[in-house]
Amino acid sequence: MFELTKEQIKKFEKIVFVTGAGISQESGVPTFRGNNGLWRNYDSMKLATIDAFYGNPKLVWEWYNERRQNIFQAKPNEGHLAIAELENYADVAILTQNIDGLHQKSGSKKVLELHGSIIKIKCTVCDFKNEILEEISEIPPKCNCGNILRPDVVWFGEALDQEVWQNAVILAGECDLMIIVGTSLVVSPANTLPIYAKQNSAYLIEINPENTEMSPRMDLTIKNTSAISLPQLVSIYKKL
């Protein structure tokens, strides 16, 4: 599966994972594209926008509440756990588009959440930010300043947190192995991260049961699920 020699692997000093919804699929968290892209017959691509939120904040909050409840019950799978274990053997950073916190739950330490977090909340007007500590019963929730609170996530058309993004670009540009797992690589700017890695002549591996538009640009494509593939990478490191 990982057709790499021990010598090749030993040369990789900095590993960066770029992860997407597919890595959490085996934890029971649905992906965005493909068969599971609907919620109550709404297209999730259309709900994840600032216009949808201001048009119907109650509906969008219901969607996030339901997803948060599902995510709270979800457990990291063998794929998340393998990445966390790999940190014992190599310098690992994770640049994730996921908002589910499952990398952190599995024990990974260096995780950059490019699209925010479903357990965080922020005010639509003032600087208030917090973690969601208990179930939100009254929706949409209100800030002490009187304005509506929103999930602290990045919606379509919104800019990423600049500090998080700058750090992600630096890590991508410095790594010598990038492993791209469970992402369709269709959403910008996250889908440019492999390009930054390639500029540093990094080796690119994609783990995805399906092809993506960037598959032909990979050095190695593993057409299998992350929960099956990633533990095999850890086994290789254990035997080095």
Residues 163-222 that bind ligand APR (CB under 6 A): 181-184, 186-187, 207-210, 212
Query: What values do phi and psi take at 46, rounded to 5?
Result: -85, -25
Both tokens of 238, joined, read 């254990």
Is position 80 annotated as part of the catalytic site? no
- Among 85, 115, 143, 202, which one carries the catalytic annotation? 115
What gap in Å lies between CA 103 and CA 80, rounded to an integer? 6
Decide whether 68 or 115 has the Cβ nearer to ligand APR.
Answer: 115
What gap in Å lies between CA 216 and CA 204, rounded to an integer? 11
In the complex, the smallest distance separating the C-beta of residue 97 from ligand APR, rounded to whole angstroms, is: 3
Decide whether 33 or 105 has the Cβ nearer to ligand APR.
Answer: 33
**Helical ranges in the chain per DSSP H:** 6-11, 22-25, 44-47, 50-55, 57-73, 78-86, 102-105, 162-174, 193-199, 226-238
Could you tell me which residues come within 8 angstroms of residue 70 by beta carbon, excluding any fewer than 6 positions away? Answer: 28, 29
Question: x/- binding map, residues 82-121, to ligand APR, per CB under 6 A?
Answer: ---------------x-----------------x------
In the complex, the smallest distance separating the C-beta of residue 166 from ligand APR, rounded to whole angstroms, is: 19
Residues 5-64 that bind ligand APR (CB under 6 A): 20-22, 25-26, 31-33, 48
Binding site for ligand APR (CB under 6 A): 20-22, 25-26, 31-33, 48, 97, 115, 181-184, 186-187, 207-210, 212, 225-226
